[in-house]
Amino acid sequence: MTTTKLNVDALVDAGNGRVTSAIYTDPAIYELEMERIFGRCWLFLAHESQIPKAGDFFNTYMGEDPIVVVRQKDGSIKAFLNQCRHRSMRVSHADSGNTRAFTCPYHGWSYGVDGALIEVPLEPRAYPQGLCKEKWGLLEVTRVETYKGLVFGNWDATAPDLRTYMGDIAWYLDGVLDRREGGTEIIGGVQKWVIDCNWKFPAEQFASDQYHALFSHASAVEVLGAKSGDANKALGSGQTARPVWETAKDAVQYGEDGHGSGFFFTEKPDANVWVDGEVSQYFRDTYSEAEARLGKVRALRLAGHNNMFPTLSWLNGTATLRVWHPRGPHQVEVWAFCIADKNAPDDVKAAFERSATRAFGPAGFLEQDDSENWAEVQKVLRGHRAKKTRLCLEMGLHGERVREDGVPGITNYIFSETAARGMYRRWADLLMSESWEEVNERTSAYKQEVLK
């Protein structure tokens, strides 16, 4: 442990804006991440709308552990390790559904929706000595808490509660979850695909990187911009095809406690240029309700990026919410959900789903730019020398400040790496700390250093 401890500290120098590439490739670091980050942080499991009735279940992951999330008879939500206690088979195989019991396909042990082992085939003959079924229920995820419809799980009984853990990222997340009465729901199914890159590349980009959009997405933006007449026709009247970074007056990046977000201040409730006309019209039609609930800044915020540490990302106005499930140091499995206001009309929900898939589905015209970058970077990092190289995270170094206009947290100009530096500092703090107390001490010390 001591060696890894020293290594981790040496690999991340957030104060000077440097990380060493090995953090994206080292198998020992990856194992430590599974224990100390995915074993201790709050991880997104499901949206409540996916499991409305008793017995409804949804299968997901916490790190690499398969997890089944189940609505209980009393309306509460529990989550279990999807692992039979007999020989480790998954007891639930469907992506989602409704059930009264989970019956293991291997030897037929059966578990109730509360995780209790209720039925063992041939029990009197196979276990003449007796089997204490109470001891062999499914392992329950230690803590499950919800935030405005999103369900999170945590294995660590000593972790801060979900709301405390979220800190100011909750303010940014409310911009999606709390626009309208009735909250949100997941539209359609989950799109899942694998990218050959470390989970931290996409998480970091959604936390901290507006900068790439100007260059990496230049061709997509050019297509929409150059054909603005056609695009306007396709996108709906009143829609401008100019990207927000060309029209916005000011912009902010937030980065604290490992979380990150970035957006531009705008004056009109204009949606992203790639969404359908029905979506843009819907945002205009519902603007006053959103403004009454969230205030002007967040109601107008229909573009921008976000990551709640470690792996829950979303894009405002685009309706994509995704989780980066780690699959070894060199791979990530993306699970993309389309999230929209529950009270939106059905044709608008369909337009949200279409728009999110077109831009950010597995073959989405913006998604492809991003995943190509991450996979290429990961290929470079297979090089022995490349793994040892220090990378530059100095953008906007020492530009951090606390704003006075109500936008909370440690902030900087949007074109900075405040959130990335904060994310890697928090990451290293978690890997190095034995307890949450220690994590929090380290995080507070870093905040003081950043703001001095």
Q: Residues with catalytic annotation?
A: 107, 209, 212, 217, 370
Q: What are phi and psi of 210, to 5 degrees?
A: -80, -25
Binding status of residue 442 toward ligand FES by CB under 6 A: no
* CA dihedral angle for residue 96, residue 311, residue 287, residue 237, rounded to 10 degrees: -80
Q: Provide the 8-state DSSP code for 145.
A: E
The answer to whether residues 300 and 269 touch, using CB atoms and an 8 Å cutoff, is yes
Query: Which range, of 33-41, 65-73, 102-110, 424-432, touches ligand FES by CB under 6 A?
Result: 102-110
109 interface partner picked from Fe ion, ligand FES, none, CB below 5 to 8 A per type: ligand FES
Please, which residue, 270 or 370, has the CB nearer to Fe ion?
Answer: 370
89 interface partner picked from Fe ion, ligand FES, none, CB below 5 to 8 A per type: ligand FES
State which of residues 84, 150, 275, 420 lies at the interface with ligand FES (CB under 6 A).
84
Binding status of residue 80 toward ligand FES by CB under 6 A: no
- With the C-alpha atoms ordered 192, 419, 438, 171, is the resulting torsion angle positive or negative? negative
Binding status of residue 90 toward ligand FES by CB under 6 A: no
Pairing of strands 332-341, 320-326: antiparallel
Please, which residue, 89 or 350, has the CB nearer to ligand FES?
Answer: 89
Count of residues binding ligand FES (CB under 6 A)?
Answer: 9
State which of residues 15, 95, 106, 182 lies at the interface with ligand FES (CB under 6 A).
106
Amino acid (1-letter code) at residue 86: H
Binding status of residue 342 toward ligand FES by CB under 6 A: no
Binding status of residue 268 toward ligand FES by CB under 6 A: no
Q: Which helix (H) or strand (E) holds 323?
A: strand 320-326
106 interface partner picked from ligand FES, Fe ion, none, CB below 5 to 8 A per type: ligand FES
User: Binding to ligand FES (CB under 6 A): which residues in 354-393?
Assistant: none
> What gap in Å lies between CA 339 and CA 321, rounded to an integer?
7
State which of residues 109, 111, 152, 324 lies at the interface with ligand FES (CB under 6 A).
109
162 interface partner picked from Fe ion, ligand FES, none, CB below 5 to 8 A per type: none
127 interface partner picked from ligand FES, Fe ion, none, CB below 5 to 8 A per type: none
Please, which residue, 107 or 180, has the CB nearer to ligand FES?
Answer: 107
> What gap in Å lies between CA 370 and CA 171, rounded to an integer?
26
What is the residue whose two structure tokens read 């998954």?
90
Please, which residue, 109 or 424, has the CB nearer to ligand FES?
Answer: 109
Structure-block tokens of residue 2: 């001591």
100 interface partner picked from ligand FES, Fe ion, none, CB below 5 to 8 A per type: none
Q: What are phi and psi of 183, to 5 degrees?
A: 70, -150
How far, CA to CA in Å, does 159 sit from each of 34, 97, 147, 166, 168?
15, 31, 16, 12, 17
- Beta-sheet strand order (sheet of 143-147): 43-47, 150-154, 143-147
Binding status of residue 87 toward ligand FES by CB under 6 A: yes
From 277, 282, 272, 274, select the one nearest 236 (Cα to Cα).
Answer: 277
Q: What are phi and psi of 276, to 5 degrees?
A: -65, 160
Instruction: Report, in Å, the least distance between residue 62 CB and Fe ion.
Output: 26
Q: What are phi and psi of 53, to 5 degrees?
A: -110, 155
State which of residues 26, 178, 370, 429 lies at the interface with Fe ion (CB under 5 A).
370
- Would you call 358 exposed, middle or buried from its count of C-beta atoms within 10 A (0-12, 13-18, 19+)? middle
> What gap in Å lies between CA 168 and CA 419, rounded to an integer?
13
State which of residues 25, 55, 72, 89 lies at the interface with ligand FES (CB under 6 A).
89
Q: Which residues bind ligand FES (CB under 6 A)?
A: 84, 86-87, 89, 104, 106-109
